[in-house]
Amino acid sequence: MRILITAGPTREYLDDVRFLSNASSGLMGYAVAEAAVSAGHEVFLVSGPVNIPPPKGCELHAVETTDQMRTACLGLFERCDGVIAAAAVCDYKPRNRVSGKIAKTGEPITFEMIETDDVLAELGATKGARWVLGFALEAENPRENALQKLRAKNCDWIVLNSPTAIGAETNEVQLIDASGHSTCTLAGSKRDVARDLIRWIEQNISGR
Tell me the three state secondary structure of residue 150: helix
Close Cβ partners of 189 (under 8 Å, ≥ 6 residues apart): 169, 170, 171
Active site residue 22: yes
Tell me the three state secondary structure of residue 3: strand
Active-site residue (options: 22, 145, 154, 204): 22
Question: 133: number of CA atoms within 13 Å, CB side?
Answer: 27
Nearest to 146 by CA among 133, 164, 130: 133
Tell me the three state secondary structure of residue 85: strand
Q: Which residues pair with 133 in a beta bridge?
A: 84, 157
Per this entry, what is the length of the chain? 208
Active-site residues: which are they?
22
